[in-house]
Amino acid sequence: MSPWDLKGEATPLRDFMENFTNDSTPGSEWGANGESFPREVGAARWYAVRTRSRFEAKTSASFREKGFAEFLPTYQSRRQWSDRVKEVRLPLFPGYVFCCFDASDPYPVLNTPGVVHIVSAGNTPLPVNDLEIQAVRRICTTHLTAAPWVEPVSGRRVVIARGPLKGIEGTFVRMKDEYRLIVSISLLRRSVSTELNLDWVNGVQ
């Protein structure tokens, strides 16, 4: 029995466990920079995991406690309270956490607090494009401002030639007094934007 139903939703864990066997090949674990930990190597890839509302941080921490490499991209946002303005960190992809694991053994991921399902097509979990998640991770490791991009992605495709985002490919967008680079996770059909210095891009004026 597959842990995913025909619509890509996770089946109840009770039903899955009744048919689950322990002969799955254990997956490898990967560190934040892509290095593998000393464990039997499997087909570990990055996957998007759907979580319950506002459970992203708890689920991400649970993945980390289990030894999985996890990635919860966030951004800083200002929120108006009744008596003050507070800066908080919010998920760049609300409702999702990225986790690196071997999809042949999904139970440890599915049996994590807050997990709803693994993004999949039919019975097959779909890995996130490696270049796309690397680009988002690079953005999050810089001190550049980032935010979700909710507009249609339209502009010139560029590869950043220099600066902290060197090597990243994305969509160049010119706004009123600033320039933005839009990077998408095509699997989720969602995008993020970050500030961009015009000197970092060749052939753009």
**How far apart are alpha carbons 8 and 3 in whole angstroms?**
9
Q: Is 117:8 a contact under the CB 8 Å cutoff?
A: yes
Q: What is the predicted pLDDT for the residue at 205? A: 61
Give the helix/strand (H/E) hosting 91: strand 85-91
Average pLDDT over residues 109-122: 96
Mean pLDDT of the chain: 82
Q: Mean pLDDT lowest for which of 25-39, 68-82, 158-172?
A: 25-39
In this prediction, residue 42 carries a pLDDT of 59
Q: Among 14-18, 152-156, 195-199, where is mean pLDDT lowest? A: 14-18
Domains of the chain: 13-127 (3.30.70.940), 131-200 (no CATH)
The owner of tokens 């039997």 is: 40
Strand arrangement of the beta sheet that strand 69-71 belongs to: 69-71, 96-102, 44-51, 115-118
What is the tens place of the pLDDT at every residue in 163-195? Answer: 999 999 999 999 888 999 999 999 999 999 999
Per-residue CA distances from 195 to 21, 90, 164, 173, 202 (Å): 48, 18, 11, 10, 16
